[in-house]
């Protein structure tokens, strides 16, 4: 019998009772807005879902942002005090998209309130902060997620399938990188992102973390490495009294202050499976504008993907044909989730569609009461490599990667 006393019939996806998931967002800049849009889009894209996200409260200290969250996005409440998000009994999930230096404090408060937590990377600005966050969440028993957005690209997932099925053979080499120009302008303002005491480490946290997460997703743990870092722009113009984003720009002759974290980080490494790899990240390079990319090489083929060409994969399969070589595989609805956004082949999806996919998968995990990956444990795996990189920079030698995961 059903709850209404009528004979039970097989429930369709549309008629099945859905769990309501209350969403609280802290930080209503670009990514906070992207996650809010994705929660609004999920019901329009996933009819077979078993939950309904509801935008409950948005907190942002910048005047007017929380009001816009209510007016333009449909949040029930807006506030400049993030504590109201933690205190609201209608909030099941806290989405943290605030500046890096606030993440650990917010995570501690969300854990104390028993909320599920989705945090944009880096979970902590330093490896020690990330370990603290993971320990706190684990002891609190809350479900966690991290915004390693690029692993959700359908063509990236396809490469993971090819590797798992052995279609590229034994993997011998890997090259991962994230090159961005956001810090290439010497007149770019000295925002919190350029100060280790405010934002934590620089390119090794902000950019390299994405590349390392993808590399370890595809090939497994990194065991040994030697690395280097550099700060190419050592002084930047000071922001005005109102602060500034890392896209703000000063003028020649403005007062300057020291940059205290790195513009560039790189490493050579060995994977547990035997492959050799290299990783680079730079925020001060000229040319690549958002080149989050990788190439993987095996004994039977190779594949390469670049976020700047999100909907294309370069794939090489060894054949006896003298004309064999790389082919371009175009994204399409034959790859999981792509068809939720656009039908057919070679019709493009974009970055915010990846945010929808990750938010949908995270909400599914919360609704089911099960762990989610990537979670804070995966973030610890990334900073375990970062910690070895920083040791190598100090020692000038190869260093073993010691897992910072705690029992």
Distance in angstroms (rounded) separating the CA atoms of residues 119 and 354? 15
Examine the pLDDT at 247 and tell me if it is beyond 80.
no
Q: Per the domain annotation, does 286 fall within a domain?
A: yes
Co-location of 126 and 172 in the same domain: no
Distance in angstroms (rounded) separating the CA atoms of residues 232 and 236? 11
Co-location of 185 and 132 in the same domain: no
Distance in angstroms (rounded) separating the CA atoms of residues 159 and 304? 9
Distance in angstroms (rounded) separating the CA atoms of residues 125 and 33? 22
- pLDDT tens digits, 362-399: 999 999 999 999 999 999 999 999 999 999 999 999 99
- pLDDT tens digits, 291-323: 999 999 999 999 999 999 999 999 999 988 887
Q: Per the domain annotation, does 395 fall within a domain?
A: no
Q: What is the mean pLDDT of residues 185-207?
A: 93
Co-location of 117 and 194 in the same domain: no
- The CATH number of the domain where 235 resides is what? 3.30.360.10
Co-location of 249 and 265 in the same domain: yes
Co-location of 192 and 292 in the same domain: yes
Of 149, 184, 199, the one marking the end of a domain is 149
User: Which residues partner with 345 through β-bridges?
Assistant: 332
Q: Per the domain annotation, does 28 fall within a domain?
A: yes
pLDDT on residue 241:
54
Q: What is the mean pLDDT of residues 341-350?
A: 97
Strands in 115-263 per DSSP E:
116-119, 144-146, 171-180, 222-230, 235-237, 256-258
Q: Which residue has the tokens 């060995």?
A: 270
Q: Per the domain annotation, does 241 fall within a domain?
A: yes
pLDDT tier at 199 (50, 70, 90 boundaries)?
confident
Range of the domain at 342: 154-309+311-349
Whether omega before 374 lies within 30 degrees of 0, making that bond cis, reads yes
Instruction: Provide the domain count of the chain.
Output: 2
- The CATH number of the domain where 122 resides is what? 3.40.50.720
Strands in 37-115 per DSSP E:
51-59, 77-79, 93-96
Contact 389, 127 (CB under 8 A): no
Examine the pLDDT at 173 and tell me if it is beyond 90.
yes
Q: Per the domain annotation, does 213 fall within a domain?
A: yes
pLDDT tier at 243 (50, 70, 90 boundaries)?
low
DSSP-based three-state secondary structure for 7: coil
Give the C-alpha distances (Å, rounded to integers) separating 60 from 25, 26, 79, 104, 304.
9, 6, 7, 17, 39
Q: Per the domain annotation, does 341 fall within a domain?
A: yes
Contact 352, 362 (CB under 8 A): no
Co-location of 238 and 277 in the same domain: yes
What backbone phi and psi angles, to 5 degrees, belong to 175? -130, 120
Co-location of 164 and 285 in the same domain: yes
Co-location of 168 and 293 in the same domain: yes
pLDDT on residue 143:
98
Co-location of 134 and 170 in the same domain: no
| β-pairing verdict for 312-317 and 301-306 | antiparallel
DSSP-based three-state secondary structure for 250: coil
Co-location of 324 and 278 in the same domain: yes
Contact 192, 198 (CB under 8 A): yes
Co-location of 68 and 164 in the same domain: no
pLDDT on residue 323:
79
- The interaxial angle of helices 127-140 and 376-395, nearest 10 deg, is 160
Co-location of 105 and 85 in the same domain: yes
């Amino acid at each position: 019998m059903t709850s209404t006393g009528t004979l039970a019939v097989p429930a369709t996806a549309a008629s099945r009772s859905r769990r309501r998931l209350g969403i609280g967002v802290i930080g209503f800049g670009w990514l906070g807005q992207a996650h809010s849009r994705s929660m609004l889009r999920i019901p329009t894209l996933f009819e077979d879902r078993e939950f309904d996200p509801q935008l409950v409260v948005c907190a942002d200290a910048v005047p007017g942002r929380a009001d816009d969250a209510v007016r333009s996005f449909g949040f029930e409440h807006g506030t400049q005090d993030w504590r109201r998000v933690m205190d609201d009994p209608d909030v099941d999930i806290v989405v943290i998209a605030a500046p890096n230096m606030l993440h650990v404090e917010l995570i501690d408060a969300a854990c104390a309130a028993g909320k599920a937590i989705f945090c944009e990377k880096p979970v902590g600005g330093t490896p020690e902060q990330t370990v603290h966050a993971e320990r706190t969440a684990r002891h609190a028993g809350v479900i966690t997620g991290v915004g390693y957005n690029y692993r959700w690209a359908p063509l990236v997932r396809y490469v993971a399938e090819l590797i798992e099925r052995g279609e590229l053979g034994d993997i011998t080499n890997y090259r991962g990188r994230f090159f961005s120009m956001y810090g290439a302008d010497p007149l770019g303002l000295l925002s919190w992102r350029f100060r280790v005491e405010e934002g934590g480490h620089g390119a090794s946290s902000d950019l390299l973390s994405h590349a390392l997460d993808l590399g370890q997703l595809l090939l497994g743990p990194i065991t040994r490495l030697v690395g280097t870092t550099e700060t190419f722009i050592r002084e930047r113009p000071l922001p005005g009294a109102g602060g500034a984003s890392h896209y703000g720009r000063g003028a020649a002759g403005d007062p300057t202050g020291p940059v205290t974290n790195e513009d560039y980080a790189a490493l050579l490494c060995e994977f547990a499976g035997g492959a050799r790899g290299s990783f680079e990240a730079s925020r001060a390079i000229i040319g690549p504008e958002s080149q989050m990319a990788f190439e993987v090489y095996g004994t039977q083929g190779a594949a390469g993907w670049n976020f700047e060409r999100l909907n294309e994969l370069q794939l090489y399969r060894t054949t006896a044909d003298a004309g064999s070589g790389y082919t371009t595989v175009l994204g399409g609805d034959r790859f999981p989730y792509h068809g939720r956004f656009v039908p057919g082949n070679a019709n493009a999806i974009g970055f915010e569609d990846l945010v929808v996919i990750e938010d949908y998968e995270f909400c599914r995990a919360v609704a089911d009461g099960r762990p989610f990956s990537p979670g804070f444990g995966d973030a610890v795996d990334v900073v375990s490599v970062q910690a070895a990189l920083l040791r190598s920079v100090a020692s000038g030698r190869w260093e073993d990667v010691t897992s910072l995961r705690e029992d």
